[in-house]
Amino acid sequence: MQITILFLCMLFSWIFLHRLKQKNRKGPKTWPFLGAALEQLMYYDTMHDWILKYLSQSRTVVVPMPFTTYTYIADPADVEHVLKTNFSNYPKGEVYHSYMEVLLGDGIFNVDGEVWRKQRKTASFEFASKNLRDFSTVVFREYSLKLSAILTQASHNNQAVDMQELLMRMTLDSICKVGFGVEIGTLAPNLPDNEFAQAFDTANMIVTLRFIDPLWKIKKFLNVGSEAVLDQNIRTIDDFTYSVIKRRKAEIEQDRGINKDEKIKHDILSRFIELGKDPDNNMTDKSLRDVVLNFVIAGRDTTATTLAWAIYMIMSHEDVADKLYSELKDFEEDRAVEEGVSLINDQESFDQRAMQFAGLLSYDSLGKLYYLHAVITETLRLYPAVPQDPKGILEDDVLPDGTKVKAGGMVTYVPYSMGRMEYNWGADAASFNPERWLKDGVFQNASPFKFTAFQAGPRICLGKDSAYLQMKMALAILCRFYEFKLVPGHQVKYRMMTILSMEHGLKLTVSKRP
């Protein structure tokens, strides 16, 4: 009995001292063994704003969890240290890899070291290819016009649309065409159900939950709960992905049979398939599967969600919508003069007018739409496609602000919070203001360690130019010819995934512009 009483006294004393110590540090409440897990679970659905609250009070926030410790950072100096200066000490790490492996495998976004370097070298070569850029421009134009045709029909029928879903379909079709050389047709006029897209979204949400769920390994072992759902969705994802690989391989062999001198096609998957014929690369179908899914999450989800937030921001700021429309109208008239084209003014020929305008949009001409570029970039500042990005810690280190981090923990830079920090962007940091990116009407870049939407350092996003190309192509056509209004009562909020998508989609009504 005395031993029990002594034990309880020691336990309560320990908890009391822990809580007393907690008062002297900034950050969420922590408990013995559990760390901050209870508070994180309470605020899981609004976690990005939960982190923002603490980072507004301190540029670095330490969040202990049951099996690791997260250090969240928002200061550009700390971010540069992690992403560039001491890059080798902050890999993706085994913890992150274990959470995401079921979905991303050993793809470029989930690996380190030589495996990452090989994939990045190949992808870098492809993204630098003029052939891929030109092909992408044609594909992005084609699918933007397909989306335009669906919106025209919706405006005729006074029918509301879920713009996020349509954009997800557009970018999925685009990445499959550009990245893998296949047409999957999710943006067909009848909008067919797509099991792969639905399974991918569900899997994405569940693997994100793993970061704060200490029981996920047990659930995985028992195949129960969220892990059982994840397993079912991964099967659907794999069925689709392996069928894409099989189809692409068959098409490559068929092309060779017709013309043995024909050069390999320029889609990314074809390049990796060719590399797989070299025994030194050890590129199996599983490796190709990982390549496909990593580029899907990069080329579909990030672009579509950014476009959805951009449209929401444009329609929520009438002055921005008017300025953007004026830029696009002036561009149309100037380009028509340069090209010697007579603009179609017949209101009955709406689709032909859109096609004519789209024909004026090239890689080079889109580069002159500075306000459009600023609108997209300002959207990414406030609604970055990847709102937080954790890195592992190999060895003990000290960040530039003096924060000590321990080996085995995680450091997470938080683009969502960084874009809202007054010490980064000034007193109007929370405001949507595209003009902050313009000087004398010309777009001006910011440091990638301050504007981290595309990461920075050795892992900076290879697809940045391609993403901007697709987003500018789509928004130029949509904002030139349509005006959007939010469906009354529709709630816009993010959902917790690795990508900052909208939980309830973006329900809009569409009307034509003159």
pLDDT in tens, 305-336: 999 999 999 999 999 999 999 999 999 999 99
Q: Which residue, 163, 130, 128, 126, is CA-closest to 148?
A: 163
Q: Which of 201, 27, 207 is nearest to 99 (CA)?
A: 207
Measured N-to-C along each axis, helices 285-296 and 163-180 cross at an angle, to the nearest 10 degrees, of 140
pLDDT score at 16 = 46
Task: Tell me how far apart the alpha carbons of residues 494 and 301 are, in angstroms, rounded to a whole number.
Answer: 13
Number of other residues whose CB lies within 10 A of the CB of residue 267: 23
Q: Say how many domains are in the chain.
A: 1
Residue 4 lies in a domain: no
CATH of residue 447's domain is 1.10.630.10
Contact 143, 173 (CB under 8 A): yes
Does position 2 have pLDDT exceeding 60, yes or no? no
The top-scoring range by mean pLDDT among 185-189, 250-254, 267-271, 363-367 is 363-367
- Report the C-alpha gap between 447 and 338 in whole angstroms: 35
Dihedral of the alpha carbons of 445, 83, 94, 301, in degrees to the nearest 10: 0
User: What is the residue type of 504?
Assistant: H
The per-residue DSSP string of 158-216 comes to T--EEHHHHHHHHHHHHHHHHHHS----TTSTT----HHHHHHHHHHHHHHHGGG-TTH
1 pLDDT band (50/70/90 cuts)?
low
In-domain check, residue 273 = yes
H-run or E-run covering 507: strand 507-512
Domain that holds residue 172: 90-384+419-512
Decide if 251 is inside a domain: yes
Alpha-carbon distance of 482 to 126, in angstroms, equals 34
Distance, CA of 88 to CA of 94 (rounded, Å): 14
User: What pLDDT does residue 15 have?
Assistant: 46
Interacting residues of 77 by C-beta distance below 8 A, sequence separation 6+: 400, 401, 449
pLDDT at 511: 95
Whether residue 351 lies inside any domain: the answer is: yes
**Cβ neighbours around 410 below 10 Å, total:** 21
Backbone angles phi, psi at 392, to 5 degrees: -80, 170
User: For residue 407, is it within any domain?
Assistant: no
Instruction: Return the DSSP state at 435.
Output: G
Q: Quote the pLDDT of residue 259.
A: 59
**What is the secondary structure of 357-412 as a DSSP string?**
HHHT--HHHHTT-HHHHHHHHHHHHHS-SS--EEEE-SS-EE-TTS-EE-TTSEEE
**CA distance readout (Å), 27 to 24, 338, 408, 420:** 10, 58, 20, 18
Taking only the tens place, the pLDDT of each residue in 419-478 is: 999 999 999 999 999 999 999 999 999 999 999 999 999 999 989 999 999 999 999 999
Q: What is the mean pLDDT of the chain?
A: 88
The pLDDT confidence band at residue 18, using thresholds 50, 70 and 90, is very low
**Is residue 82 domain-resident?**
no
